[in-house]
Amino acid sequence: MGNKPGTDESTIRHRPLKVYAFDPSRGRTLGNYMTINVEYEDVQPGPLGKYVHVIDYDATHDCYYLPIDLTERKILIQGGIDPNESDPRFHQQMVYAVVSETIRRFEFALGRTIVWAFERRIHDEYDERKPLRIFPHAMQEANAYYDRDLEALLFGYFKASETDAGVNIPGQTIFTCLSHDIVVHEATHALVDSQRDFFMEATSPDAPAFHEAFADIVALFQHFSFKEALLEVIQQTGGSIFRSVVDPETQPANGAPIIQAELTADNPLVGLAKQFGDAMGTRKALRSALGTPPNTNDLKKYNEPHTRGSILVAAVFDAFFTVYVRRTRDLMRIARAGGARMSSGDLNYDLANRLAEIAAKTAEGFLNICIRALDYCPPVDIQLGDFLRAMVTADYDLVSDDKYGYRMALIQAFRSRGIHPAGVASYSEESLLWSAPEGLSLHCKGLAFDLFSLNPRQQRQKNGKALWSFAKKHAELFCLTIGPDIKIQARTHHEVHRVSPDGQIMFNVIAEITQSREVPIDPNYPNLGKFKFRGGTTLILDENSNVKYSIPKPMGYEKDDENNERLIRQRAYQARRESDMAFSDFSEERLLGPELVERWSKSLNMTHRGY
Amino acid sequence: MATAKSKSAKKRAVNGSKKGAAKAAPARAASGQLNKNTIRVRMYRIGFGDCFLVSLPIRGEDSKSDYKHILVDCGVHGRGDIKTMEQAIDNIAKVTGKKLAVVIGSHAHQDHISGFGKFAEKFAEFDIDEVWLPWAMDKNNKVANRFVKKQAALVSQLEDHFHALAARGAPVENGALEAVENLRGNEKAIELLRMGFGVNATVRYMTAGDKLKDPARIQGLSVRVLGPPTSEEFLSQMDPPAGQHYLRLVNGNVEPADSAPIFANKWTAQANAIGVPRLSLDDMQTLKERAEFPLDDLAFALTKVTNNTSLVVLLVFRGQYLLFPGDAEYGNWRWWLEQDDSGDILSRISFYKVSHHGSFNGTPKSAVEKMSEGRFGAMVSTQSAPWKSIPKPELMTALNLRAQKRIVRSDWISVDSAPAPLPGSMPVEPPRLPKGFSKGSIWVDYFINL
């Protein structure tokens, strides 16, 4: 649009846009109509911005829907179109706003700009940014997913169950792009994929479970930034925001509720994608943050990614709610001492405000730990236990004193669910922290970080090369495999600028060193073909280019393959997936070698087809 | 492949069936004879489908009926039918004197139960004591009912869809269509099984973990049901996906089942409207494929669901373990493979009915590895039509190794105009059947010495 006389766009910081805090099924209750202050950018119709491009093409009906022009005066005046299921332009506006907000949260926590996975691949050829495409009405299907090949987020729409539609009208069209949770969940998949090349490969039951859980965690924590919804839930639960139901606005006079104000409702903060779940006939939110009471058996029982992932979600939220309760205990005591009534609906307005503030802050703190922990994960084959170590180290690095007990709460929550990091002697903070190779101070030479560099791309390439030679030189110390045919690659690295709560500026370099070798799919049937078995190490360097942490996932040597636990686990897992896959029994062609390998590598996408 | 040798085998087998047996062969009977010290498993070649008759000798009970017979399935897939079923049922009638102690209907697929419906009149003449079915076929089971209803609706929608696609001249994946067809036309058979064939047979709906002792008055038989389970994880796999979109034929015209637009017309953009982005043809094609794809997938998913409702029965008779897993696939196996004594059971089996016609995921590798090398015989009822990929060579090779070649395929019995094993298909028929096996006109017998 360019600058018009009399305006100066550089002073505009936000573009307010209306969205559903949850989904259309909540109506106006519990702060469901909300406004997101999207970071201001120049947009074309679509919207098309720097990071995302909303393209409203419907493959089922083979047509385009008219795109919204956010710069249109009538739309600007109202802060975007009002929530409206029947106007596709509101849908476009909502996905744009929600995805943009999610990106902003990642950039804030990671301390760097997001570059999409597919941009990274082409980065050397083009200097221009390539936005992630969003199809809000991609097809008629009860699903939504991140599609790496299409460089897009695909959102489906579908008819609600005719027999058991819950709060929906039977047969009503449900739009997955209007579910705040689903949009955040899918955007998170794309954001995680943007960080590393092979991080999302499904190498064990834990890897896809982690990715589903992580996306759910981000979506759930987002709930606690919805001020109005949070305040209402605090009112209706007497401050116990972790309860699965909220109290009615007024207690029924004779026990049984007669009017809607007397009905209890699900707590929207702790449930995910309620409308979607309802429309599928499950009569409840699709997934919940709370899960079952902690026990160490569930992890052995559940292998389906979403179910297994929910154990991780429950652990993180257990820690979050525990810290929230501890941080608000004094306020509650003071209120009670002053004779205040603490039952639902009666909370003093100021008290409710203070509780909301603490809940929001704590949630933001936890979300930041989770996102930052991505940098502290091994580059491939993540296990749930690795994530605990990553979170503990990420937080320790930035906030060494753990004033509010975040880390203790996390450790305890993981322990009680039997999520045990491999190779760790105890659940103490010290043994959970990642470490650097012992006794040595390893310095990486030749790194330059000139923020005002005239040629940032050249600088990047140079740094990549320096990191690569550094990793090669100390391959053994970093648990990398050395061999004539084995390459060491430094495909991704990131510069991180963060500010700790005590005002210190931190500068880190995160480098993902990866390597792979070909191993037979099944050692007993060599003609079945081979697959790429990966390993690698995440290196974290401090501001002086010294190694702070080395986080290895060794791939070992061929001679030890018989006892290579990771390899055995990956084989078992992939054989099981293969036999679970719907096609394998009836498919006409025999799956051999390359086809099988291709299916193995594509299989992650199949998980995503189940939001 | 019906050589002179196999014909003589047939004669022996028929003779041995009733009268010959009463004469009580020596304790270590030569294989090929049914007598009071042998168990016989007879596999009929009826095309792509299962029909097994197990005959157990009962000592000193009633001299007229020295044997109790268990019929495990009787069905053939519509596109793999070689028209020998009537002959098979006549043979069953002859061998058993029309008395069946137990009829097992392993799961609701054509290729396992169609015969019960198609030849209802013949079965009506039988005296049947008990009918065993998986819990998923129980009308009074709420969970089962929900699945059945949902499935039935999906199946008819899917069929319409595939037919509509064909009418439009679009390519239809045959495998998918055939998979759906396998789910159809079983209503009569299911109904008859559920009412115990109307002859007062006791109907049992069974669940993993059930145990029976001397059922149907078969002295010395104990039964363990290994599947299907009712665990939560298992059930979540059973629930077919919902909310797909279909084509259908309406008055001869093809239209999507949900062709209704999702927005008012005014919101649909003309291709050249201002601000409407242009996708490349490739992208549009990919998106359209993404939108279509789930239907074929769904068709297979549906058959898999039913396969996994298979009743998995372990018959234990005088120290011999016989395993009949129906068409169980991994979801079903998993539950009991995870039980403590699964290794113990598998290492002891003396007979294994190969699950799901020898398909890739019918028998998990971990199960094969637990079977005792050379200590069991296996039978696989299979044929290269309608699915060329069945039986799976890798699996058959592995099983052949484990069983030390004591494995026999039903399609080694040659039947006029029925498909023979494809070249390269495993295992290859040896010049002589392995020890303990003998051929009849449309069946193969396996004898287990007691």
CA distances from A463 to A493, A510, A536, A595, B367 (A): 9, 11, 19, 37, 51
The pairing of strands B268-269 and B253-256 is unpaired
Residues facing B56 on adjacent strands: B68
Q: Determine the pLDDT at residue A344.
A: 65
Give the pLDDT confidence score for residue A248 in this predicted structure. 76
Give the highest mean pLDDT range of A126-130, A521-525, A601-605, B373-377.
Answer: B373-377
Q: Scan residues 289-308 of A and list those with Cβ closer than 8 Å to B.
A: 301-304, 307
Percent of chain B with pLDDT over 70: 82
Total residues belonging to chain A: 611
Map A301-342 to HEC letters: HCCCHHHHHHHHHHHHHHHHHHHHHHHHHHHHHHHHHCCCCC
Q: State the Cα angle at B203 between B201 and B209, rounded to 5°.
A: 140
pLDDT at position B112 is 95
Q: Which residues of A touch B273 (CB under 8 A)?
A: 64, 66
Under an 8 A CB cutoff, do B387 and A60 touch? no
A588-592, Cβ contacts within 8 angstroms, sequence gap of 24 or more: A588/B174, A588/B175, A588/B387, A588/B388, A588/B389, A589/B389, A590/B389, A590/B392, A590/B393, A591/B360, A592/A527, A592/A528, A592/A529
Which chain B residue has the Cα nearest residue A85?
Answer: B263
| Closest Cβ–Cβ partner in B233, B297, B361 for A301 | B233
CB contact under 8 A, B287 and A135: yes
Summarize the confidence of residues A367-385 as an average pLDDT: 95
Q: Higher-confidence residue: A78 or A575?
A: A78
Run of H or E residues at B312: strand B312-317
Q: What is the pLDDT of residue B24?
A: 36
Mean pLDDT in residue range A504-533: 84
Distance from CA of B444 to the nearest CA of A (A): 25
Under DSSP, the state recorded for A177 is: G
Task: Tell me if A579 and B274 make a contact (CB, 8 A cut-off).
Answer: no
Cα(A232)–Cα(A347) distance, integer angstroms: 11
Band (pLDDT 50/70/90 cuts) for residue B10 is: very low
Question: What are the C-alpha distances in Å from A97 to residues A35, A36, B28?
Answer: 9, 7, 81
Q: What share of chain B is helix, strand, coil (3-state, %, to 5)?
A: 40, 20, 40
B297 to chain A: which residues are within 8 Å by CB? 582-583
Residue type, A412: Q
Taking CA–CA distances from A583, the nearest residue in chain B reads B300
Q: Which candidate from A138, A141, A587 shows the least CB-CB separation from B389?
A: A587
**Taking CA B199 as the corner, what is the angle to CA B195 and CA B203, rounded to the nearest 5 degrees?**
45
Distances (CA, A) of B73 to B44, B182, B208: 11, 15, 19
**A578 interaction partners in chain B (CB closer than 8 Å):** 360-361
Residue A582 pLDDT > 70: no
CA distance A160 to chain B (A): 8
Q: How far apart are CA A174 and CA B127, in angstroms?
A: 54
A279 pLDDT above the threshold of 80: no
Query: What confidence tier does A599 reach under pLDDT thresholds 50, 70, 90?
Result: very low
User: Closest residue of B to A307, CA-based?
Assistant: B233
Handedness of CA A328, A330, A332, A338 (dihedral sign): negative
Summarised one tens digit per residue, pLDDT across range B109-146 is 999 999 999 999 999 999 999 999 999 899 888 888 87
pTM above threshold 0.95: no
Contact B360 A585 (CB under 8 A): yes
Lowest mean pLDDT among A374-388, B60-74, B329-343, B391-405: B60-74
CA B386/CA B320 separation, integer angstroms: 34
Contact B287 A585 (CB under 8 A): no
Predicted confidence band of residue A566 (pLDDT cuts 50, 70, 90): very high
Q: Does the pLDDT at position B26 exceed 80?
A: no
| pLDDT (tens digit per residue) in B254-267 | 555 566 788 998 99
CA geometry: angle B14, B18, B20, nearest 5 deg? 80
Cβ pair B359:A528 closer than 8 A: no
Average per-residue pLDDT in chain A?
84
Q: Name the pLDDT band for A499 (thresholds 50, 70, 90).
A: confident
Question: Mind listing the pLDDT tens digit for each residue in A209-238?
Answer: 899 899 999 999 999 999 888 998 898 888
Q: CA-nearest residue of chain B to A172?
A: B262
- pLDDT value for A530: 77
3-state secondary structure (DSSP) of residue A456? helix
| A-B contacts (CB, under 8 Å) | 164
Tell me what pLDDT residue B28 has: 37
Distance of residue A589 Cα from the nearest chain B Cα, in angstroms: 7
Between the alpha carbon of residue B179 and those of residues A599, B234, B247, B295, B360, the distances in Å are 21, 21, 18, 12, 16
Q: Do A580 and B283 touch (CB under 8 A)?
A: no
Which band of pLDDT confidence, cut at 50, 70 and 90, is reported for residue A102? Answer: very high
Task: Kindly state the average pLDDT of the residues A194-200.
Answer: 89
Interface confidence (ipTM) of the complex: 0.80
Q: Is the pLDDT of residue B165 over 90?
A: no
Q: Is the pLDDT of residue A511 over 80?
A: yes
pLDDT for A127 equals 61
> Which of A348-352, A433-437, A536-540, B160-164 is the least confident region?
B160-164
User: How many Cβ atoms from other residues are within 10 Å of residue B424's Cβ?
Assistant: 8
The stretch B392-413 carries a mean pLDDT of 91
For the cut 70, the answer to whether the pLDDT of residue A579 exceeds it is no
Mutant choice from B77, B282, B288, B290 vs A, greatest count of A C-beta within 10 A:
B290
Distance from CA of B211 to the nearest CA of A (A): 24
Give, in order, the Cα–Cα distances in Å from B288 to each of A53, A61, A138, B294: 19, 9, 9, 11
CA A324 to chain centre: 21
Cβ distance of A585 and B393 shorter than 8 Å: no
pLDDT on residue A170: 73
Q: What's the whole-number mean pLDDT along residues B285-313? A: 77
User: Exposure pattern of A203-217 as b/e (b: 16+ CB <10 Å)?
Assistant: bbbbbbbbbbbbbbb
Range A66-80 average pLDDT = 93
Q: Kindly state the average pLDDT of the residues B43-71.
A: 85
Mean pLDDT taken over chain B: 82
Min distance B369 CA to chain A CA atoms (Å): 12
User: What is chain A's percent helix, strand, coil content, to nearest 5?
Assistant: 40, 15, 40
Q: CA nearest A526 in B: which residue?
A: B394
pLDDT in tens, B226-249: 999 887 667 766 665 544 455 555
- Name the DSSP letter for residue A436: P
**Which has the higher per-residue pLDDT, A492 or A183?**
A183
- Residue with token string 């059971």: B345
Of B303, B360, B390, the CB nearest to A579: B360
> How near does any CA of chain B get to the CA of A138, in Å?
7
Q: How many residues does chain B have?
A: 450
- How high is the pLDDT of residue A284? 63
Given this model, what pLDDT does residue A345 score?
67
Band (pLDDT 50/70/90 cuts) for residue B185 is confident
Please compute the mean of the pLDDT values over residues A438-461 and round it to a whole number. 80
Indicate yes or no: CB of B262 within 8 angstroms of CB of A157. yes
Predicted confidence at residue A275, as pLDDT, reads 78
DSSP A542-602: -TTSBEEEEEEE----GGGGGG-HHHHHHHHHHHHHHHHSTTTTT-SS---HHHHHHHHHH
**Residue B6 pLDDT more than 50?**
no
| pLDDT of A323 | 96
Q: Cβ of A139 and B258 within 8 Å?
A: no
Chain B: residue nearest A161 by CA?
A: B243
Q: What integer pLDDT is reported at residue B21 of this predicted model? A: 39
Q: Which chain A positions have a beta carbon within 8 Å of B279's beta carbon?
A: 55, 57
pLDDT band at A606 (very low <50, low <70, confident <90, very high): very low
In this model, does residue A262 exceed pLDDT 90? no
User: Would the CB atoms of B276 and A301 count as touching at under 8 Å?
Assistant: no
Q: Is the dihedral of CA B282, B283, B288, B289 positive or negative?
A: positive
Helix (H) or strand (E) run with residue A154 in it: strand A152-159
Q: Inter-chain contact A59–B297, Cβ cutoff 8 Å?
A: no
Confirm or reject contact between A568 and chain B (CB < 8 A).
no
Q: A582 vs B304: CB contact, 8 Å cut-off? A: yes
Residue B171 with chain A: CB contacts under 8 Å: none
- Residue A519 has φ and ψ, to the nearest 5°, of -130, 150
pLDDT in tens, A300-342: 877 777 788 889 999 999 999 999 999 999 998 988 888 777 7
